[in-house]
Structure 1
Amino acid sequence: MPSDCIPFKETNYFSSLICDYLEEKVELQPFYNRFPKLENFKAQIEEKQQSFSDAKREVLVKSLHNQYQGFSVSDLTIEHIELLKKNTTFTVTTGHQLNLFTGPLYFLYKIISTINLTKFLKEKYPEYNFVPIYWMATEDHDFDEINYFNLFGKKIQWNRNDGGVVGVFDTKGLDKVFEVFSSAIGSGQNAEQLKSLFQQAYLNRNTLADATRYLANELFGEYGLVIVDGDDKDLKRLFIPYVQKELSDQVSYHKVSPKAEKLQNEGYKIQVNPREINLFYLAEGLRERIIEKEGRYFVNETNISWSKSEILKELSEFPDRFSPNVMMRPLYQEVILPNLCYIGGGGELAYWLELKDYFETVEVPFPMLLLRNSALIQTKKQAEKIKKLGVTDTELFLKQHELINRKVRQISNIDINFDPQRKHLQEQFQGMYELAEQTDITFLNAVKAQEIKQLKGLNMLEKRLLKAQRIKLSDQVKRLTTIQNELFPNQSLQERSTNFSEMYLEYGKELIPFLVEHLDPLQGEFIILKQ
């Protein structure tokens, strides 16, 4: 499967913030620690090694063994968990919601970027060990964002009552989803393997967290992926001092808000605004914000409240009931993991860039931030069609009307570009302007108005001619739009919509090895994979 690549900026699907970060613009350097280049990891290793204790490692390893009970675990994953006891072992982490059947394709790209970076690091720094981590967002409560996946342009959805954190949701009702999925993918060896994977994950496991762990472990266990569930009492006990400071001093709000404002002043959009307290309280079927009013703490939309001493006592006895929101989850991750680098999408990196001052204040090393791989997969048939149509990789990313207009101009047997006529017209009017300057202002204005009118007329004629040629060349236009719609569902990136099962039907068990071979997390460009 050969690959090509184009700069992220040329895809027009990535924000100016991310494009500028990738170009290491000077203005953004105060918002991150070190840029993710292999040679920069040595200093990151030394910084993290000094701050991460052996006691934390013991707690982490014990928790991981407990979390994996009842699962068939690869030898490499077990080895990686045991290696975490050593102060020469570090992690590279990505995180993702518990999307049904992985959700969009970029779930795979995130994890493969993480796996591949640990390989590169081991080659560069053989005296250390590096473990790929997938952080399951089990405490998330946005069920509507994860209860479906797209297959062949249609949404396959799990309908059930919402409420509380999604990780503990039971898997009842997913048998109905399986029936729809099974019917949609038909038969054949690859289809049967997908059906078995879905059944084993969602019909034979009791919770969504366990189902997701099983699925990710089946797909990536042979690469030594270690899956972490942060909804863990022992791990959260390590985080108690930071939760105390949040409740008492509202540290994240006071440190993140000015940083976010500075980012905004540089001309970038703010991804997430911090709250005064960036914590949720968990109970059965409940995940609600903690609010402080006049020295008393309340759980939003409930009758639960505490004095300051009472809530600190509650935290000490039940740390598992306190859940960090999007602003504090990165800190929680970095407190309990010997982590060097976080790999995420553009939106994730955007809010991480708000957090550096917060990390420095609480004296936790700020990790390196790496944009995950992005890719467009073309089947053999699609690649052949694109070649016949004479479309370049960069042209594929154009808005559809721009792509059509460009190709119609290229393949038309007449010249649709009226630029020479426009230039000639403007030259003719230049003489009129020279004459007008010798008379009065009213004549000069009349000349300007006439020039604008005639230029508009030329533009209108050009558009009508282009439209006529589009109709004449309708067959080529149809084939062009069809192939772009296949590769960019709903005029969006394939990776943000298409589920991996569509690709698995095409490539089978070779899909993951293909991606592992071709996705280079340090390449810094959008990758196009062709069979």
Structure 2
Amino acid sequence: MQNDCISYQESGYFSKLITAYLDQQSDVNSLYHRFPTLENFKAQLEEKAVTFNSNIRSVLVNELEKQYKETVTSTATANHISLLKETHTFTITTGHQLNLFTGPVYFIYKIVSTLNLCKQLQEKYPAYHFVPVYWMATEDHDFEEINHFKTQENSFTWQKQVAGAVGELSTEGLDEVAQQFFALLNQSEAAVYLQKLFSQSYLSHDNLADATRFLVNELFKEHGLVIIDGNATGLKKLFTPYLLQELNHQTTYKEVSQTNLQLSKYNVQVNPREINLFYLQKELRERIIFEDNCYKVHQTTIQFSPEALKREVENYPERFSPNVLLRPLYQEVILPNLAYVGGGGELAYWLQLKTNFNAFKVCFPILVLRNSVLLVSEKQAKKIKKLELQTADLFLPQQQLLNDVTKRISQHNIDFSLQKQHLETQFKQLYEIANQTDKSFIGAVKAQEIKQIKGLENLEKRLLKAEKRKHEELLQLVKHLQNELFPNHSLQERQLNFSQFYMDYGPDFIDQLFQKLNPLAQNFNIITLP
């Protein structure tokens, strides 16, 4: 594989808030604790060692051992789970929804980024141990976000009526998806592996949480990845004091609302509720509302007095599920975690949370933007070269790309900027004359300037349109190439499933990602596949 890159900022696919974070702009400095550099992890290690309740470690390891009881565990993963008992062991965590067959391929990039960061930290700080963790979002209830995956030509969707947390969903009905998927696979060794992987994951497990654990473990167990399901009574008990504080004082609402005011010039990712918890039972996950001195479960008849709710939390903490703003706090309470590896959307809401962590007296993790990748086939790379493009050009909005190519290949200068400058110079002289003679003419001069500039712009557009017609065949090739690499005018990694690339390149596809991805480099990777 050949590797190239552009900066995240240049790609045009990241929000203003994330680019401000990457640029370490002063107006967002207060929203994070430490910027992700290898050197900054030293202070993070020391702070987490002091603030993390080491008594939690034994509970954490016991719960992980329970969760792995039915899973074939690699030596590397078993060793990592055991090491979590030690005070000099810390975690690097990523999390994701239980997307069908991993969903978009960036799921793979997320985990590779996390594993590679652990390796870098192990080299830098050999006196410590670093455990890579994948947090399964088993308590999520957005089924339509996870019930499908796509290849270049096909989409596979799991049709099902659902309610409650997705981790508990029965895998019934996935045999139909399997039939559709398998019918389109060839007889290659890679295709046989994919078929076996899908079958063993979804057709041999009863619920989505177990199926996802098996799938991710099969893909990454040899690298020592530890998979955790936060929907566990033993772990929720550790979070009980924080649940009670949230219910009694609406801490998250107060703190995040203040931070959102600071973020007013950015598009805020998530708005807090007065209580950022759901009530969780079988086939039920509904938010908790406080009104008339009573806690009510939305769209149900379930309600509690303040005293009764306190007893419910203490006796059944597993019935309380954090929402997107409180889940990060839960994660950091039960894990000896140093950093969270996430996408731009995730980091945007993490940046809303630092004051909330301070209010709960929990150490805020380092935020690492996961690696992003554009995979280019050798055939596509040859087309790029033949069309005299840079791969970075293809990140441009399509009309801008076509305009730029047209201007480059045209025999005429389609850019009328020079002519506009001449006009502005001429009108500057006219403004001076008007000021010295009759100021009432200034309005007429301005109107004439606008008219003539607009006339030049219209001529420029007409010439550009004519040149596009002249070079239509070549521009269609450019357009087709960009559509291949950016399906639905979106990033490839957000659209296509990993099976698309595994079919063509086999396990070498993932192996090469481990070699190429540097989670602290802050570059969008462009990788040419042989």
Query: Into which bin does the TM-score normalised by the smaller protein fall?
Result: over 0.9
Matched residues in 2 for 1:436 and 1:29: separation?
50
Equivalenced residues, count = 529
Q: Deviations over 1:132-155 (max 9, x none)?
A: 000000000010111111211543
Give the CA deviation at 1:437.
5.2
SS of 1:530's partner is strand
AA aligned opposite 1:232: A
1:258 lines up with 2:251 in the alignment: no
Please say if 1:291 is aligned against 2:279. no
What corresponds to 1:521 in structure 2?
A: 519
2:316 matches 1:314: no
Matched, 1:195 2:198: no
The Cα offsets for residues 217-239 of structure 1, whole Å up to 9 and x where unpaired, read as: 11111110000000111111111
Structure 2 letter corresponding to 1:125: Y
The equivalent residue for 2:56 is 56
> What TM-score do the two structures reach when normalised by structure 1?
0.96
- The CA distance in 1 between the partners of 2:358 and 2:433, in whole Å, is 69
**Cα deviations by residue, 1:321-356 (Å, 9 ceiling, x for unpaired):** 111111110111011111010111111111111211
Q: CA separation of 1:420/1:244 partners in 2, compared to 1, >3 Å: closer, same or farther?
A: closer
1:153–1:489 contact (8 Å) kept in structure 2: no
Structure 2 distance, partners of 1:443, 1:238, is 77
SS at match of 1:386: helix
Q: Tell whether the 8 Å contact from 1:158 to 1:174 is kept in structure 2 after alignment.
A: yes
What secondary structure does 1:91 align onto? Answer: strand
Deviation at 1:383, TM superposition (A): 1.0
Amino acid at match of 1:70: E
Letter in 1 for 2:461: K
Q: Does 1:20 pair with 2:20?
A: yes
CA contact (8 A) 1:135 1:228 kept: yes
1:476 maps to 2:474: yes
Q: C-alpha displacement at 1:442, in angstroms?
A: 5.7
Shift in CA distance, 292/434, structure 1 to aligned 2, threshold 3 Å: closer
Contact 1:115 1:225 in 2 (8 A): yes
Q: CA deviation at 1:447?
A: 4.0
2:125 is matched with 125
The alignment partner of 1:185 has SS state of coil
Residue matched to 1:43: 43
Distance 1:427 1:36, change over 3 A: closer
Aligned equivalents of 1:513, 1:333: Cα separation in 2: 29
| TM-score normalised by structure 2 residue count | 0.96
Please tell me whether the aligned partners of residues 372 and 521 of structure 1 are also in contact (alpha carbons under 8 angstroms). yes
Identity %: 53
Cα pair 1:255 1:358 within 8 Å, conserved: yes
Other-structure match for 1:208? 208
Report which stretch shifted further, 477-486 or 150-159.
150-159
Cα 1:405–1:314, aligned 2, differ >3 Å: closer, same or farther? Answer: same
Q: Verify the 8 A CA contact 1:97 1:137 in the aligned structure 2.
A: yes
CA deviations on 1:386-410 (whole Å, 9 max, x unpaired) are: 1111111331111000000101111
Could you say which residue in structure 2 is the equivalent of 1:155? 155
Change (3 A) 1:62 1:481: same
Question: Secondary structure, in 3 states, of the residue corresponding to 1:290?
Answer: strand
For the residue of structure 1 that corresponds to 2:272, the secondary structure is coil
Q: Deviations over 1:390-441 (max 9, x none)?
A: 1113311110000001011111122222233334444555565565556545
- Name the SS for the 2:263 alignment partner: helix
How far did residue 241 of structure 1 move?
1.1
Q: CA separation in 2, counterparts of 1:448 and 1:121?
A: 62
Shift of 1:492: 1.0
The Cα RMSD (Å) is 1.6
Q: Deviations over 1:100-152 (max 9, x none)?
A: 11111111111111101100110011010000000000000010111111211
Query: 5+ unaligned residues in a row in structure 2: which ranges?
Result: none
Q: Distance in 2 between matches of 1:380 and 1:512?
A: 17
Shift of 1:263: 2.6
Question: Of 487, 509, 513, which residue of structure 1 is paired with 2:485?
Answer: 487
* Alignment counterpart, residue 411 of structure 1, candidates 409, 412, 415: 409
String of CA shifts for 1:273-329, please: whole Å, max 9, x gaps: 111111111111100011112321111111111111211111222111111111110
The separation in 2 between residues aligned to 1:244 and 1:418, in whole angstroms, is 66
CA 454–263 in structure 1, closer or farther in 2 if over 3 Å, else same = closer
In structure 2, relative to structure 1, the CA distance for the partners of 1:415 and 1:207 (3 Å cut) is same
Partner of 1:515, secondary structure, is: helix
SS of residue paired to 1:138: coil
Deviation, structure 1 residue 88:
0.7
Counterparts of 2:169 and 2:134 in 1: how far apart (Å)?
20
Distance in 1, Cα, partners of 2:460 & 2:195: 53
- Quick one: distance in 2 between partners of 1:47 and 1:423? 58
Q: For residue 381 of structure 2, what is the aligned residue in structure 1?
A: 383
Residues 435-466 of structure 1: CA deviation (Å, up to 9, x unaligned):
55565456554444333323322222221111
Tell me the distance in 1 between the aligned counterparts of 2:490 and 2:165: 29
The match for 2:106 is 106
